[in-house]
């Protein structure tokens, strides 16, 4: 008994754990505490009803701590924070596959898949063109904003970051645009549905596909569609899940694009000597998890446990991202990223409606 007391009171944490493990352990503990708090807040009815997920809450909490008290003890826990931001992020993206099945693709049909693909491709292409050519943003920032707008919000931004090797500040700016315009979509889409009922342009299930193919975050899709009705909510979630599934091929295509443009930048018209293609291997594992989930090998309870673990890992990654983000760097980004995201939001609404009507008409 006395030896145990001596162990607890007579030694510092550095003596209990190997010295090299202390920054890792303390960093993981810090991001875990922020993640736990964020998940608790994200389950509150008011925040959930307004489309605020644990991910968005975690990055806000992380930014607050990262620009106040965290810098004073960052040297003691920085290693664990970086591990959360990098390694746990990739693990979270892999486990994201347990939210999806290939059956989801068949449920929306060819038209639904085509709508998602055209909306994704057109939105991302517009983001690159306007972001780099018009607003003169860094290519990495334009890509992150484009990924968040065109695929699945904050999760897409986080998944894209390892491919483009963007700074924490750029990731935070991109996530912020998702929060702003995704939240606006929660209130705007139900109002648009009322206009739609007057003009009778889309049936409830078609409007659900419209929501799922154009609103940023999964949580925002659910909040917007539920305000319309169960029929719209069901088709919206399925369309959104198919759109999320396109994250893996998107990352693979993006890695090829980044490799070629880097090579062309070093040697006009050619690749840089020794330039290697940075393949996001976690994207392949993500697809494998979708396939595994499609086989119904695991019970619903086990799948739900995987999903909960995924939420935990991604929330820890978001917390770490916020902790390592400096508000001064965000200010330097100015209003241009917000203007780009605003234009993309306008395209998702207007262009997305046009694409939905055209493709649905082809398969009618």
Domain contains 17: no
Domain contains 315: yes
Average pLDDT for 26-50 = 91
- Angle of CA points 127, 129, 132, to nearest 5°: 90
Domain contains 129: yes
Residues in the chain: 364
Domains held by the chain: number: 1
116 neighbors 213 (Cβ within 8 angstroms): yes
pLDDT at 271: 43
pTM: 0.79
Q: Which residues contact 6 (CB under 8 A, 6 or more apart)?
A: none
pLDDT at 216: 92
Domain contains 15: no
Domain contains 13: no
235 neighbors 258 (Cβ within 8 angstroms): no
356 neighbors 108 (Cβ within 8 angstroms): no
Average pLDDT for 308-320 = 92
CB atoms within 10 A of CB 44: 12
Domain contains 81: yes
How many whole angstroms separate alpha carbon 183 and alpha carbon 346? 14
How many whole angstroms separate alpha carbon 235 and alpha carbon 170? 33
Considering only the C-alpha atoms of the chain, give the largest distance between any 2 of them, rounded to a whole number of Å.
Answer: 80
Domain contains 205: yes
342 neighbors 181 (Cβ within 8 angstroms): yes
pLDDT digits (tens, 9 = 90+) for 179-195: 889 888 988 999 999 88
Query: How many CA within 13 A on the CB side of residue 108?
Result: 33
Domain contains 12: no
* Owning domain of residue 258: 22-267+277-362
Summary mean pLDDT of the chain: 85
pLDDT at 15: 55
pLDDT at 18: 64
How many whole angstroms separate alpha carbon 338 and alpha carbon 336? 5
Q: Where are the alpha helices (DSSP H) in the chain?
A: 2-9, 13-16, 22-42, 45-49, 54-66, 70-83, 89-95, 102-128, 139-147, 154-164, 168-199, 204-214, 218-226, 230-245, 247-266, 281-294, 300-323, 327-333, 336-362
């Amino acid at each position: 008994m006395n030896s145990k007391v001596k162990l607890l009171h007579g030694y510092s944490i550095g003596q209990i754990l190997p010295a090299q493990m202390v920054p890792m352990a303390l960093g993981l503990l810090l991001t875990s505490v922020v993640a736990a708090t964020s998940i608790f807040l994200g389950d509150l009815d008011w925040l959930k009803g307004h489309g605020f997920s644990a991910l968005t809450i975690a990055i806000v909490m992380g930014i607050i701590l990262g620009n106040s008290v965290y810098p004073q003890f960052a040297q003691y826990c920085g290693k664990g924070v970086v591990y959360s931001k990098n390694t746990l992020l990739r693990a979270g993206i892999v486990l994201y596959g347990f939210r999806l099945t290939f059956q989801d693709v068949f449920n929306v049909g060819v038209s639904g898949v085509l709508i998602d693909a055209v909306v994704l491709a057109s939105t991302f292409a517009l983001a690159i063109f306007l972001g780099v050519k018009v607003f003169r943003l860094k290519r990495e920032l334009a890509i992150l904003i484009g990924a968040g707008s065109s695929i699945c919000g904050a999760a897409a931004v986080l998944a894209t970051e390892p491919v483009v090797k963007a700074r924490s500040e750029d990731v935070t700016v991109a996530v912020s645009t998702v929060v702003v315009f995704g939240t606006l979509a929660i209130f705007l889409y139900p109002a648009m549905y009322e206009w739609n009922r007057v003009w009778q342009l889309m049936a409830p299930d078609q409007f659900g596909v419209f929501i799922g193919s154009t609103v940023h975050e999964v949580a925002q899709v659910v909040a917007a569609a539920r305000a319309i009705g169960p029929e719209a909510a069901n088709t919206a979630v399925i369309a959104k899940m198919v759109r999320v599934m396109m994250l893996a091929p998107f990352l693979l295509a993006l890695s090829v694009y980044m490799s070629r443009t880097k090579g062309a930048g070093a040697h006009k018209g050619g690749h840089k000597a020794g330039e290697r293609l940075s393949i996001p291997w976690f994207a392949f594992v993500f697809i494998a998890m979708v396939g595994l989930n499609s086989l119904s090998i695991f019970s619903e309870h086990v799948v739900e446990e995987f999903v909960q673990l995924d939420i935990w890992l991604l929330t820890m990654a978001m917390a770490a991202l916020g902790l390592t983000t400096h508000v001064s760097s965000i200010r330097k980004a100015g209003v241009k990223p917000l203007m780009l995201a605003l234009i993309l939001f306008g395209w998702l609404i207007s262009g997305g409606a046009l694409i939905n009507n055209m493709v649905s008409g082809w398969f009618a």
